[in-house]
Structures are given as C-alpha cells and as structure tokens.
Amino acid sequence: MESKQDVLKKVFGYDSFRPGQAEIVDAALAGRDVLAVMPTGAGKSVCYQVPALLLPGVTLVVSPLISLMQDQVRALVAAGVAAAYLNSSLTAGQQALMLRRARDGWYKIIYVAPERLMTQGFLRFTEAQPVSMVTVDEAHCISQWGHDFRPSYLQIRAFIDQLPARPVVTAFTATATARVRRDIEAQLGLQEPFRLTAGFDRPNLQLETRRLSESEKPRALVDFLLDQGDAPGIVYCSTVRQVEETCAMLRGLGIQAAAYHGQMDAARRRQNQEDFLFDRVQVMVATNAFGMGIDKPNVRFIVHYNMPKDLESYYQEAGRAGRDGESARCVLFYAPNDVRLAQFFIDKEEAEGDAPEEQRHAAAQEARERLKYMTFYATTPRCLRAELLHYFGEAAPARCRSCSNCLAPKVPLPRPRPAAAPKKKAAPPASADEKLLAALYAVRRDLARREKLPAFMIFSDAVLRDICARRPRTTAELRAISGIGEVKAARYGPAFLEAVRKGG
C-alpha cells in the first residue's frame, strides 16, 4: 500500500512535506475533520490532494471560482491524476458526460461549484460512488463575518448531511480571523476537527505603502512597472471604470496589459485570464473579481492602485505574489479618496442589499470596523509586516527591516530577482549556465504550446534552475529534482535531458 510520502514523490515530485502539511494529511487519512488556515503559497492543495489519492472513494473539492477549478484540474491531469470539474463553463452535454463518467468511477478528485451540489444529476452520482472526503476551499466564503461571504456556500452542510455516509470534511482558507474560524466550524458542522493555523508571515513579500494624490497615481504606476522589466504582475483597482482607464493607459504606453472585471463578458474574461497565465501579457489590471485560486507562481508584484476595503482582502490579494517563494513586491497606493469610495460601497450594500435590514446593518458595522483597520495599515509609520500580523492575532517583532516603513528613508526596496529567463543583452557574452537556462526555458515554452498549458504547469522556474545547476543525464537523476513527478518525468523529461546534453 502506498504511503503519503510515496504519493508526494511519485505524483508531485517532492521529497518532503512543508510545515503543517503532513499533520493535515495524517488527520484526514485517520478520518478526522480539518480546519486549516494557511497563507497563499503554503501548499494547501497538497494537503487534500495527497489524502484524496490514498482514500478509497472520490474526493469532492468545493471551489468558488471557475478559474481555480480549471487550473487545479489541468495541473492534476498533467501529473497523471484522474480529475475533473463541474461548473457553468461546461455545456449541458459536457456536464452530462462528466457526470456519467463520474458515476462510472472515472475520477479520484472532482472540483465542483457549490451551486451544483444539490442538482439531481450530481446527487445521483453521489448515490452511485462513495464519497470519502469533501474539501471546502476558500472556506471563509461560508461566513457572513468574513470579507467574501457567498450565500451558495451555506448549502454545503445540507449536501454533506444527505450523503449515504458522512465523509471526512476538510476546510481551507488563507485568511480568517478567530471569529470567522469559529463560524466556519459551525456552518460546516465540523466534528472535533484537527485545527491548524500556520503563520501568516510571508517573508519573501516586500510590503510597501505610498501616500499619493489621485493625480500622482498614474505616473507612479507607470514608473513602477517600467522598473519591473518584463516580470508579470497584477494591478488591482476598486472600480470597473478605473480598471478600463488604467489598462488603456498602460497599453497606450506600450505595456502589455489586459483587463478583468465582473461586467466584462465571459469570453473576454476567459481570454484575458488565459493570456496572463500563458505569459502573453505582462500585467493584469483587475477588480477583486480576479485572482482567487489563480495558481500562477511567478507573479513578481501586486500593486493596489486603490486601497482595498479590509486587511483580509488586502492580504489575500497581495498574497498572490511570490507563490514560488521568490522575492516579490506588494505595493499599496493610498489616497484619502480611497476611504470615501470604500465607505460608499459599504453604505450602498447596507441600503440596497438582499439580506434582512437588521443583518445588513450588522454587516455594515463590521465592514466599517474592518475599513478602519485597513486605513490604519495604509497610513501607519510603523512596521507594515508587524501591523498585518498583529491584525491576524500573530506576534511579530516591532521591525521587520524589509518593509517600506522599516527601510525609509535609508535605502529603496530591492528589486525582486526575475523568475523568468533574463533578456539577452549586448554584453558581456552569456555564460554556459545562462545559455543552458535559456535553452531550458525555450524547451518549456515549446512544450507548453504543444500541451496547451501555462508554462509553469510543465515545470516551475525553480525546477528549471535546479536542472541547470545539477545537469541530470538520466530520467532517474531528473526525478531526483524536487517538483518532478513520475508522469511529468516520462512525458517531458526527454526534451529537457536533450537540452542538457547539448548544453554540455
């Protein structure tokens, strides 16, 4: 019988678990519910994908966004895992085919939108196949006290309760205060769960705030982007109008940018997202509709052109940078008008929302309190990392020595190391290592085009650098590199080994 370490190495290519992962996997395999709060980039998906492949039945992953499901399933299939998703992006015929295959036992992991759980076709599938585990991703969406409440999440418990046998229930989120964590447990009916709250600190993220007038923001953004070279990143704006205007400005200056917001038609949103994932554009300019579950590890910067409504949103959005562990910048542009705009949205929801009046009023009061803490963060002269960690109930030194407040006015923040192959320069001549690394990037680009996958789903930048450093000559040597599993080694390995052979 395979062990969790066997699956980790064979499927995902890793020799060891990250902190907290093994404990969560063990709890799930022992039949215990789990509530885990882990920062973006800590490897939440491994915590449920590994037990999913060891448990006897199928694992259902409830996910709020189509993009998250698509990315996760593409990555799993590329690693040789039988996985599928069910959401509104599929035609009626595709949904019927997927459900028929699910009833016949084709899949080990199925990602499903919460709205699909109680449909007749899905319920028939759960009667035909045993469900070993239900995983709730972005679990904060179930709490009205959270920053991204989604009513559709409230039917998850009813779905679990009607299953023929209660499965293990695991819940994951990157951002949850103590109150939200308690609400998640109650709403999902978790039974004596294993609880893990990983440290919220992301040391590789360089935090920065800039107080600017509205008229100063465009120039500040352009100067910042030009300083980033061709590194990919995201610019968040508060309104659809701001997204469109900012994207048009950047494109007019020759910066490869795409827009993303909820009022855009689905086809254009999908195309722009694909262009960003496949590195056809450098900058995504978006509202907060973009990013949850976007598994692009080499995002080198996040710019908040407007201050978000709360620190939960800011932390989650900023955390989309540097998922590969490399250095990345998170810059917040703050203007007093940002507070007024956020207050306008809170007042509008309180006056026009669908919930009962008393509930709308209570939610608005909570939102105003969260906005106050967000404003403190944007304007404080104290250490930004300490302020952020204290908000989430975590102890921190008074100074991190890396945020803009700790460094000012001594030295500027260092630029992050590019995660992409460097551009060719006129001089000096490239070293043998640089030539080989460039060749490896070219191989990955060609394979990604052939497979119709984002390049990082072939191998990560870190894997390519490791291949360059270690120069493997055989498949066995290639598989010794962290991040290369059995299926990927067989499928993609020969092309990379050939590049190493030619590179000497």
Q: What is the mean pLDDT of residues 187-216?
A: 94
Rounded Cα distance, 23 and 345, in Å: 41
**CA 160 – CA 142 distance, rounded (Å):** 14
| 172 and 233 fall within a common domain | no
Half-sphere exposure of 313 (CA within 13 A, CB side): 25
Same structural domain, 183 and 257:
no
Give the model's confidence band at 504: pLDDT under 50 very low, under 70 low, under 90 confident, else very high. low
- Please check whether residue 400 lies inside any domain of the structure: yes
Task: Answer yes or no: is 296 within a domain.
Answer: yes
List helix spans (H) across 82-155. Answer: 92-103, 120-128
Q: Is the separation of the CB atoms in 102 and 125 below 8 Å?
A: yes
Same structural domain, 132 and 224: no
Listed in sequence order, the residues at least 6 apart from 67 whose beta carbon sits closer than 8 Å to its beta carbon are: 273, 292, 293, 294
Among residues 168, 197, 226, which one ends one of the domains? 197
| Rounded Cα distance, 277 and 296, in Å | 7
Burial class (CB in 10 A: 0-12, 13-18, 19+), 411: exposed
Confidence of residue 88 (pLDDT cuts 50, 70, 90): confident
449-494 tens-digit pLDDT:
999 988 999 999 989 999 999 999 999 999 999 999 999 999 999 9
Question: Do 163 and 293 have their domain in common?
Answer: no
Mean pLDDT across the stretch 12-24?
94
pLDDT recorded at residue 272 = 93
3-state secondary structure 318-359: HCCCCCCCCCEEEEEEECHHHHHHHHHHHHHHHHHCCCCHHH
Structure tokens belonging to residue 230 = 């061709």
Counting residues of the chain whose pLDDT is more than 70, the rounded percentage is: 94
Domain count, the chain: 3
Q: How many CB atoms lie within 10 A of CB 421?
A: 18
- Arithmetic mean of pLDDT, 288-309: 86
Provide the 10 A C-beta neighbour count for residue 196. Answer: 18
Structure tokens at 280: 């056809």
370 touches 311 (CB < 8 A): yes
Residues 29 and 174 in one domain: yes
Co-location of 184 and 306 in the same domain: no
Examine residue 180 and state whether it is found in any structural domain, yes or no.
Answer: yes
What distances in angstroms separate CA 362 from CA 87, 349, 355, 357, 359, one per listed residue? 32, 11, 11, 9, 5
Q: What is the pTM of this model?
A: 0.79
- Within 10 angstroms of residue 119's Cβ, the number of other Cβ atoms is 14
Greater pLDDT, 149 or 404: 404
pLDDT one-digit tens code per residue, 375-411: 999 999 999 999 999 998 889 999 999 999 999 875 5
Residue pair 350/361 in contact (Cβ under 8 Å)? The answer is yes
d(CA 442, CA 499): 10
Spatial contact of 37 and 197, defined as CB atoms under 8 Å apart: yes
415 located within any domain: no
- Count Cβ atoms below 10 Å from residue 455 Cβ, excluding itself: 23
Range of the domain at 28: 4-197
230 lies in the same domain as 351? yes
Confidence at residue 307, expressed as pLDDT on a 0 to 100 scale: 94
Cα gap 488→470, rounded to integer Å = 18
Q: What is the DSSP letter of 457?
A: G
- 92 and 241 co-located in one domain: no
Domain end, chosen from 197, 228, 249, is at 197
**Rounded Cα distance, 123 and 116, in Å:** 9
Q: Is there a domain that residue 418 lies in?
A: no
* CATH number for 484: 1.10.150.80
pLDDT in tens, 222-267: 999 999 998 999 999 999 999 999 999 999 999 999 999 989 998 8
Kindly report, residue by residue over 93-123, the tens digit of the pLDDT: 999 999 999 999 999 999 999 999 999 999 9
Q: Which two tokens stand for residue 82?
A: 């039988």
Interatomic CA distance for residues 403 and 220, integer angstroms: 18
Which sign, positive or negative, has the C-alpha torsion 19, 23, 26, 27? negative
**Pair (260, 378) in one structural domain:** yes
Closest-CA residue to 322 (of 467, 243, 419): 419
Instruction: Say how many residues make up the chain.
Output: 504
**Where a domain ends, among 197, 226, 253?**
197
